Chains A and B, each alone.
Chain A
Amino acid sequence: MSQATQQMPQFDEATRQELSDFIEQEQAKAKIQSSVHELTDKYWPGRGTDTSVPVCITGSISSKFSKSEASCLENCVDRFLDTSLYIVKQIEEQKSHLG
């Protein structure tokens, strides 16, 4: 980020810092957005032939988005993130055993 903001000679140091922080925040938001895109895609039915991925949208395409589909998606997202945190925790523990 500092690289990008160094190329802005028209700004003073404080402004460059502010912009650098701002861009970092926006990039973090964009990363979250991108994960949401991927997860929505993942739990949408009929993608590829991977039948091991749970499918939440079970009604026909003409039916409305239902409460059970919503709570299914919520569980998918929460358990996916649980898994992510759990794996990281495991790896950190293994690392501390080694070190």
Chain B
Amino acid sequence: MSSLFGSNPQTASDMQKQKEQLKLQVQQELAVASAQQLINKITENCFAKCVTRPSTSLGSSEERCLTQCMTLYMAAFDQTSKSYVARISRERSSQVPSNAL
């Protein structure tokens, strides 16, 4: 952070470089936040689904269930994402106010 905000670039190309670096950093941090959110949701939902009676350790059938649950959850997430994004671009092209989305 300090390298991004602290120094004064000498040339235009320095500034260009810092700008791109900052953009990349913003995108990466948002991507990490989204991945964390997905991992949290998977953990909550698949724990509820697969570990119904928690014992002293995870059994192999519980682990198998967690693997399958994770795959299924990601497929559901992908589908939801596809449908949502498709809908938003349809709304944008038909000029309906989309601030509600």
Contacts and interface: CB of A to CB of B under 8 A. Distances in A.
A66 to B, nearest CB: 10
30 contacts: A8-B5, A10-B5, A10-B8, A11-B18, A19-B19, A26-B30, A32-B85, A32-B88, A33-B30, A33-B34, A33-B81, A34-B37, A35-B101, A36-B81, A37-B38, A39-B84, A41-B45, A43-B80, A44-B76, A47-B48, A61-B72, A69-B79, A73-B76, A74-B79, A74-B83, A77-B83, A81-B87, A81-B91, A84-B101, A88-B97
Interface of A: 7-12, 15, 18-19, 22-23, 26, 29-30, 32-37, 39-41, 43-47, 56-57, 61-62, 65, 69-70, 73-74, 77-78, 81, 84-85, 87-88
Interface of B: 5, 7-9, 15, 18-19, 22-23, 26-27, 30, 33-34, 37-38, 41, 45, 48-50, 65, 68-69, 71-73, 75-77, 79-81, 83-85, 87-88, 91, 96-97, 99-101
Contacts of B91: 81, 85
Given A11-B19, A18-B19, A22-B23, A37 B76 contact: no
Q: Is the interface of A mostly helix, strand, loop or mixed?
A: helix
A3 B96 CA distance: 31
Contacts of B8: 9-10
Contact of B68 (A9, A30, A56, A62): A62
Contacts of A19: 19, 22-23
A23 B26 contact: yes
Contacts of B7: 10
Contacts of A74: 79, 83
Contacts of B99: 88
